[in-house]
Amino acid sequence: MPRFAVYIDNTETFRFVVEAADYDAAEAAAMDAFESDARADAYSHGHEPTVHDPEPLDALPAAA
């Protein structure tokens, strides 16, 4: 499964490397990781997190 780097800004930038089948799944996996990260609680202060487009770290499978 390809790996993606996903950056989430919430008064601080967090970088998550996740394995996912596609961009949408990568974004969802990163948000799950962000929401369960204790560091994120310390920086939220009511700000809505900004999720940047996932960056593929591995080659993606060719579309059929």
| Tokens representing residue 21 in the block | 């089948």
Q: pLDDT tens digits, residue range 32-59?
A: 998 887 766 655 556 678 899 999 998 7
Q: pLDDT tens digits, residue range 4-25?
A: 999 998 878 889 999 999 999 9
| Tokens representing residue 56 in the block | 């593929």
Q: pLDDT tens digits, residue range 27-39?
A: 999 999 988 877 6
41 three-class SS: helix
The CA radius of gyration of the chain, in Å to the nearest whole number, is: 12
Residue closest to 6 by CA, chosen among 25, 40, 24, 30: 30
The pTM (predicted TM-score) of the whole model is: 0.77
